[in-house]
Amino acid sequence: MTKETKSRDLAEPADTAGPAGEVKAALTRFVSEIRSLNDGLHSRLQQTEERLTMLDRKSFSPARPHLAREADLDAPHQKAFDAYLRSGDDDGLRGIVPEGKAMSTAVAGDGGYLVDPQTAATIQSVLRSTSSLRAVANVVKVEATSYDVLIDHADLGHGWATETASAAETGAPGIERISIPLHELSALPKVSQRLLDDAAFDLEAWLAGRIADRFARAEAAAFVDGDGVDKPTGFLTHPSVANASWTWGNIGYVSTGAAGDFANTDGADVIFDLVYSLDAEYRANAAFVMNSKTAGALRKLKDGDGRFLWTDGLAAEQPARLAGYPVVVAEDMPDIAPDAMAIAFGDFAAGYTIAERPDVRILRDPFSAKPHVLFYATKRVGGDVSDFAAIKLLKFAAS
């Protein structure tokens, strides 16, 4: 017996001796070699795939849309919200968003879902930059259906006392309660299902942009001249009276002295009349509000020494100034015309309050406009004058 045969006999069990045992051992070695080869191929393929993935990220990641980036989809809410918008799959949202009890108030499947925090922040950013009255008004976040403002608009009585005389009763202060109801603002953009199925489509940015644009334009108009019926009450909607006879509940105005124009002589003087019609306590934080056409006309005004009343901002983010006060351009203000209240001046942080709920809701509707999908977005916002003494108007009229 050779050494090789002897060693094989020692390594193999007795039941593998003979031709049948040799065949079985050969098959075992063959299967083992095939498995080893398969493991090696799998390892090489995995390494190649990883290198290709790294190359793909280096080459194309900067151009990918926001929703397509894996890092942004790590948050459970972000993933669930994206799935809900694209396909209506609300399984992921059920464990994240609390359910309500009724269709009119719920934020679950039948009532809509809260917009994810990043989308909501995008909408608010555009609202602040577009709806210009927000830049100077008092904006408060509320969780109720209305917001009450308490105003003390009557002085406490007083009197001089002597050492021996009895003190007389003085007048009590007057407290005014102003209730600002919240109204529902809605937008209904639509998109085709095919576009939603395209993973490269930045759905979040599109939805936020469309909603923000619609909300901003609607709010801007309502804050200026809204009638208060299912919308905020604009400050121009309240009654206006000549400032000399102003009373609480009205907004005082100063006339230019000419119908639809400034006075022929010393026309710029009325700007200073308007400024000083406002009490000193409000002037420190006051601003002008007008539209672009009116701003263009005021840029030409000069004082008695030939100096322009209008000065542009020194930096990109600074507003222009008129008679030393900042100018807010609100396109929903009326144009210069006979009897038009084309310019407002006041402390809008004290004079006008915007109350809103901090959330935006989205309801996905794939049935009403097939083959398109509708997205019904809603938010609740209200606005009204909170201090009638803090705002004055310039009326383009003879008196």
> How many C-alpha atoms does 255 have within 13 Å on its Cβ side?
11
Top-confidence residue, 302 or 58: 302
Domain co-membership, 256 together with 279: yes
**Residue written as token pair 């299902």:** 193
Residue 296 structural domain: 240-355+385-395
Give the sign of the dihedral formed by CA 78, CA 80, CA 85, CA 86. Answer: positive
Please report the pLDDT score of residue 6 as a whole number. Answer: 45
Same domain (yes/no): 189, 288: no
Count of domains forming the chain: 2
Domain for residue 2, yes or no? no
Is 210 in the same domain as 190? yes
Q: Is residue 12 part of a domain?
A: no
Decide if pLDDT at 348 tops 90.
Answer: yes
Q: 232: Cβ–Cβ under 8 A, 6 or more apart, which residues?
A: 180, 183, 219, 222, 223, 226, 354, 381, 382, 383, 384
Q: Which residue has the higher pLDDT, 189 or 325?
A: 325
Looking at residue 237, its pLDDT comes to 96
Confidence at 304, pLDDT banded by 50, 70, 90: confident
Which residue did the predictor score with more confidence, 169 or 4? 169
> Is 225 among the domain residues?
yes
pLDDT value of position 353: 95
For residue 294, name the pLDDT band (cuts at 50, 70, 90): very high
Burial class of residue 26 (count of CB atoms within 10 Å of its CB; 0-12, 13-18, 19+): exposed
DSSP-based three-state secondary structure for 395: strand
pLDDT at 103: 35
Mean pLDDT of 319-324: 89
Q: Is the pLDDT of residue 356 over 60?
A: yes
Backbone region of residue 232 per phi and psi (left: phi > 0; alpha: psi in -120 to 50; beta: other values):
beta
- Tell me, rounded to whole angstroms, the distance of Cα 140 from its chain centroid: 13
Query: Do the domain assignments include residue 42?
Result: no
Share of the chain above pLDDT 90, in %: 32
Q: Which residues of 75-88 are buried (b: 16+ CB within 10 A; e: fewer)?
A: eebbbbbbbbbbee
Are residues 275 and 328 both part of a single domain? yes
**Does 202 lie in the same domain as 121?**
yes
CA 146 to chain centroid, in Å, comes to 20
Residue 41: the pLDDT is 66
Question: In three state form, how does the secondary structure of 323-389 look?
Answer: CCEEEEECCCCCCCCCCCEEEEEECHHHHEEEEECCCCEEEEECCCCCCEEEEEEEEEEEEEECCCC
* Residue 372 structure tokens: 């398109």
Residue 308 lies in a domain: yes
Distance CA 302, CA 299 (A): 8
Query: What CATH number is attached to the domain comprising 178?
Result: 3.30.2400
Stretch (H or E) spanning 67: none
Q: What proportion of the chain, given as a percentage, has pLDDT over 70?
A: 67
Residue 104 has pLDDT above 50, yes or no: no
Least confident of 60-74, 148-162, 166-180, 276-290: 60-74
Q: Tell me, what CATH number does 258's domain have?
A: 3.30.2320
Residue 188: pLDDT band with limits 50, 70, 90: confident
| pTM over 0.85, yes/no | no
Domain annotation covers residue 57: no
193 pLDDT band, cuts 50/70/90, is: confident
99: Cβ contacts below 8 Å, ≥ 6 apart:
106, 107, 108
Name 177's bridge partners: 150
State the amino acid at position 348 in one-letter form: F
Phi, psi of 368 (to 5 degrees): -70, -25
Beta bridge partners, 227, equal 233
Residue 253 has pLDDT above 90, yes or no: yes
301: confidence class by pLDDT, cuts 50, 70, 90: confident
Residue 147 sits in the same domain as residue 244: no
Residue 373 within any structural domain of the chain = yes
190 and 269 both lie in a single domain: no
Is 245 in the same domain as 340?
A: yes
Judgement on whether residues 351 and 364 belong to the same structural domain of the protein: no
The C-alpha atoms of residue 176 and residue 289 are separated, in whole angstroms, by 26
Query: Does the residue 287 lie in any domain?
Result: yes
* Same domain assignment for residues 195 and 212: yes
Say if residue 277 is in the same domain as residue 317: yes
29: amino acid identity, one letter: R
State whether 369 and 332 are in the same domain: no
Does position 66 have pLDDT exceeding 50, yes or no? no
Mean pLDDT over 90-114 rounds to 49
Strand spans (E) along 77-207: 113-114, 138-141, 146-152, 175-181, 183-187, 190-192
